[in-house]
Structure 1
């Protein structure tokens, strides 16, 4: 866990390049109480320890399926699965879960240092209860992601997703969603410490997997002025299927479709949702 000092920080952006419905701006100042945040997202190894001790059953396991991006599936596997209308690059894969990320016949044996995926927000809350930790608010997440800078897009010096031609995060390269050139080295998730951390020592705050937050989706930025991260978590520490915030983007983000890999970008998902690009990290 890495300490983020208390202080007044800027959140949001005035750059106007996001989606208006995401309410990324105008930028404001908020006071953030001191907190600590895990240097990486929760890994398969960590989640496996949790499940072994608690016998916890995830939402995806209860439902019997989860969403998988089409390029991660073989043609044979696709023929067996459900293609959901309006979600042309996603398949609802039967038998898919955190321990079977690409279908019932797959495993995480070679992915123990990758982020756990196919975890709903409800699953993340259960893990937090077991560890005595909690989920970050969007404001806490954003302050931590900036890594001691005032940047609103990326935590590195150059305002470019590929600074000086170097791939420093896991996103999508190529013709989205048909062909991923994998110039960053990965078609799906990368191990949690693949790229250089930010100035706080936090790994992959941009790309790899979306990260669940504690607050509801789309609240105005002013909401964070008078609410501490602990209070927000207490208020929303419940299992349900309402819409909640997610941050950071994933290995599927591409500027032609979803440019939400930026630090200030905002979006969300329903609390029981799970997919091959959705994980979480914890704070205290």
Structure 2
């Protein structure tokens, strides 16, 4: 089941394209962090590999032991990441990189699991929509020929029938030679199902931010520091060029990059900014930090987004290959993303954690 808002808006776009007429659809959703959905640290900051403590997951994922401690959570640059507040987290293990296509494939082959994007759609849930249009699929970023401002994200997001984790950009795409790329096109429950299968769980956003900051100062622009490049090389897989029409691919990638393609942070974690957004366990509310517990916060008991009050959303962290300072700045340190739980896209994935 997909979000009614996203699916119907996408279907309207599809029908408009087929009839070669304009729809007049111009909804705006603030800074659209749910659909625009970068941290690595320069090598000079990385600790010696021997200083890390590791565990091995059921999925053969190396997990880094993150020693618990206290940090300042949040950012003064984003309203929903305020107030900056002190948080204490207990020690835990975290996957050193995002879950890959190959790892998720192993899970599916072992369990027969069918993701949300692959499931049939019930016409009763979409009254007034031609049942022939209700086919399995998901949202895919598509470069538009031209854009009229950056308020309407439907200019570059399309609902593509047949798009799913095996075919991230649609039926003609494949993960055949992308086993080491992060898996995408997963709804929240898909990521949660994988985590449970391997005996892990999804991270809280407090755990995620604590691990991403890796002991860095609160005033750093990015999780690794203040500059996007070191020695002329980009430090994360984000968008370069004029969003959304011209990606110069200066970092070497147009969409996802193989995990561990960029330097790790000081804790030995890869792609804590950029590549793909990562699902967290917390429900999303913009006001949660006002009353957040000081020790091991797990998020609010329910979801509320004033921009789209009827949708259930979970927190997403870290940004993706589409993030840039023109439109989606939520890859920056301390910022928060959000995603409707049943709306997979080709720039959202996840990593897992495990209690000690």
User: For the superposition of Structure 1 and Structure 2, which TM-score range results when normalised by the shorter chain?
Assistant: 0.7 to 0.9
String of CA shifts for 1:52-105, please: whole Å, max 9, x gaps.
00100000111511111114x9x9xxxxxxxxx851101111111001112123
Query: Quick check: 1:10–1:150 contact (8 Å CA) kept in 2?
Result: no
Query: Quick check: 2:206–2:296 contact (8 Å CA) kept in 1?
Result: no
SS state at 1:246 partner: strand
**Aligned-partner Cα distance in 2 for 1:226–1:13:** 16
Alpha-carbon offset, residue 49 of structure 1: 0.4
Query: Quick check: 2:82–2:290 contact (8 Å CA) kept in 1?
Result: no
Cα distance change of structure 1 residues 165 and 224 upon mapping to structure 2, 3 Å threshold? farther
**Which one of the candidate residues 222, 236, 241 is aligned to 1:154?**
222
**Which one of the candidate residues 95, 102, 107 is aligned to 1:50?**
107
Residue 123 (structure 2) pairs with residue 68 (structure 1): no
Alpha-carbon offset, residue 224 of structure 1: 4.2
Residue of structure 2 equivalent to 1:261: 331
Which structure would you say has the larger Rg?
A: 2
**Aligned-partner Cα distance in 2 for 1:168–1:7:** 26
String of CA shifts for 1:135-171, please: whole Å, max 9, x gaps.
11111100100122124532324x1223453201000
Residue of structure 1 equivalent to 2:163: 96
TM-score, scaled to structure 1: 0.86
Query: Quick check: 1:67–1:90 contact (8 Å CA) kept in 2?
Result: yes
Query: Quick check: 1:170–1:189 contact (8 Å CA) kept in 2?
Result: yes
TM-score, scaled to structure 2: 0.69
Structure 2: segments with no counterpart, 5+ residues:
1-62, 122-135, 146-151, 303-310
**Aligned-partner Cα distance in 1 for 2:142–2:98:** 24
**Aligned-partner Cα distance in 2 for 1:155–1:92:** 32
Alpha-carbon offset, residue 125 of structure 1: 0.8
Residue 163 (structure 2) pairs with residue 106 (structure 1): no
Query: Quick check: 1:41–1:281 contact (8 Å CA) kept in 2?
Result: yes
Equivalences for residues 108-127 of structure 1 within 5 A = 108-127=175-194
Alpha-carbon offset, residue 6 of structure 1: 1.6
Residue 289 (structure 2) pairs with residue 221 (structure 1): yes
SS state at 2:154 partner: coil
- Coordinate RMSD, CA, aligned: 2.1
Cα distance change of structure 1 residues 160 and 86 upon mapping to structure 2, 3 Å threshold? closer
SS state at 1:87 partner: helix
**Aligned-partner Cα distance in 1 for 2:317–2:221:** 12
Alpha-carbon offset, residue 7 of structure 1: 1.5
Residue of structure 1 equivalent to 2:65: 3
Structure 1: segments with no counterpart, 5+ residues:
76-84
Residue of structure 1 equivalent to 2:86: 29
Residue 238 (structure 2) pairs with residue 171 (structure 1): yes
Cα distance change of structure 1 residues 227 and 7 upon mapping to structure 2, 3 Å threshold? closer
**Aligned-partner Cα distance in 1 for 2:272–2:101:** 18
Residue 265 (structure 2) pairs with residue 198 (structure 1): yes
Alpha-carbon offset, residue 3 of structure 1: 1.1
Q: Which moved more, 1:220-229 or 1:174-183?
A: 220-229
**Aligned-partner Cα distance in 2 for 1:196–1:169:** 8
String of CA shifts for 1:210-269, please: whole Å, max 9, x gaps.
00001111352255425536xx38x78xxxx61110000000001011111112111201
SS state at 1:110 partner: coil
**Aligned-partner Cα distance in 1 for 2:237–2:66:** 24
Query: Quick check: 2:280–2:317 contact (8 Å CA) kept in 1?
Result: yes
**Which one of the candidate residues 312, 325, 328 is aligned to 1:242?**
312
